[in-house]
Amino acid sequence: MSSDTKERLTNIPPNTTFMFGAGGHARELSEFVLHNQSMSGGNNESCIVYVTPTGTEKVLRTHKPNIAVFDNLGTSPDDEFFDTITENEFIGMLESEEAQDNPTSASVVLGIGSPKIREKVVYRLQKYRNIHYQNFYAVGSHISKFSWERFCPETFTGLIVGPGCVITVGVSVGQHVHLNTSCTLCHDVNIGDFSIIGPGSVICGNVDIGKRCCIGAGATVIDNVSITDDVTLGAGATVVENITKPGTYVGTPAKFLKQGSL
């Protein structure tokens, strides 16, 4: 790591959130970060640093004045100094002596839409004990008191509950699950690690969804259905029977389209 990079990372304030990814999903989650910091007594100087792979294209600065997103050249407009850093730079920061002395020195949010990529990031970072993954429960979401014990921050890591979500009784989710805007989880739903439920989706009662699944926007899964690991469900699709083979499914009723994701 160059001396300039070391100096830049040393100057990052302690209340910074490191957001993996810098696309649309990450920028949406940035709203949650800033709101949570505000509700917890944070000030307008709370900052987000986006962590992206080396060589990624420039990401446009978002509309929030206190979120600065820059390219890997390290340039910064105005008088703000935060730029997008690479994963290697982030890992170098974790391995520094200062970070090793602080067990919670890096607060991380996985702003990555792909379940498989989120899992890979967690795998790469698992040996570092000086990070923690934030949980977010957006204002306007509803979690039944009969499910809350399964959603409490002490139980989960990386759980995102978007605005307008409705979570009823007996619902259980895994680690690093993202529940997007206005989705509904009915009674006794189980969702595996790293899965993402798209905006406006409806998951009816007694449904099991495996790991690394991606349920598209506006999709519906009817009662008493199981979906295996690594399934992508297209937008607006309707699942009416068990899905036992990984792959992409589209339509009403949902039919197998191809191996892998869209």
**Tens of pLDDT, residues 136-174:** 888 788 888 877 666 665 666 888 998 899 999 999 999
CA atoms within 13 A on the CB side of 4: 7
Of the two residues 76 and 157, the one the predictor is more confident about is 157
| Level-2 CATH architecture, domain 136-250 | 3 Solenoid (2.160)
Separation of alpha carbons 37 and 109, rounded Å: 13
Per-residue confidence (pLDDT) for residue 153, from 0 to 100: 57
Quote the pLDDT of residue 225. 97
CA contacts within 13 A on the Cβ side of 200: 9
Q: Are 35 and 42 in contact (CB under 8 A)?
A: no
| pTM metric for this prediction | 0.81
Q: What is the pLDDT of residue 206?
A: 97
Check: CB of residue 137 under 8 Å from CB of residue 47: no
Q: How does the average pLDDT of the chain come out, rounded?
A: 79
Which residues make beta-bridge pairs with 110?
20
* Residue ranges matching CATH 3.40.50.20 in the chain: 3-133
Q: How far apart are CA 159 and CA 155, in angstroms?
A: 10
Query: Would you say 243 and 253 are in contact if contact means Cβ atoms under 8 Å apart?
Result: no
Query: Picking from 29-33, 86-90, 234-238, which range would have the lowest pLDDT averaged per residue?
Result: 29-33
Whole-number pLDDT of residue 142 = 87
- Report strand pairing: 226-227 vs 208-209: parallel
* 65-73, long-range: CB < 8 A, 24+ apart: 66/34, 67/27, 67/30, 67/34, 69/22
- Cα–Cα distance, 220 to 254 (Å, whole number): 10
Of 32, 72, 34, 33, give the one whose Cα is nearest residue 52. Answer: 72
216-243 tens-digit pLDDT:
999 999 999 999 999 999 999 999 999 9
Report the share of the chain in percent with pLDDT over 70: 71
Residues of the chain with CATH 2.160.10.10: 136-250
Number of neighbouring beta carbons within 10 Å of residue 86: 16
pLDDT band at 96 (very low <50, low <70, confident <90, very high): confident
* Among 9-13, 125-129, 206-210, 239-243, the least confident range: 9-13
Residue 110 DSSP one-character state: E
Q: Determine the Cα–Cα distance for residues 205 and 53; give it in Å rounded to an integer.
A: 39
What are the tens digits of pLDDT across the range 180-221? 999 999 999 999 999 999 999 999 999 999 999 999 999 999
Show the CA angle centred on residue 14, arms to residues 10 and 19, nearest 5°.
90
Furthest CA-CA distance within the chain? 58
Q: What is the mean pLDDT of residues 16-39?
A: 76
> Which of 72-76, 105-109, 131-135 has the lowest average pLDDT?
72-76
- Residue 79 confidence (pLDDT) above 50: no
CA angle, residues 239, 212, 178, in degrees to nearest 5:
90
pLDDT score for 98: 65
Q: Could you tell me the pLDDT band of residue 23, with boundaries at 50, 70 and 90?
A: confident
The residue that leads in pLDDT, 69 or 133, is 133
The CATH fold of domain 3-133: Rossmann fold (3.40.50)
Structure tokens belonging to residue 27: 């920028």
Side-chain-side CA neighbours of residue 198 (13 Å): 17
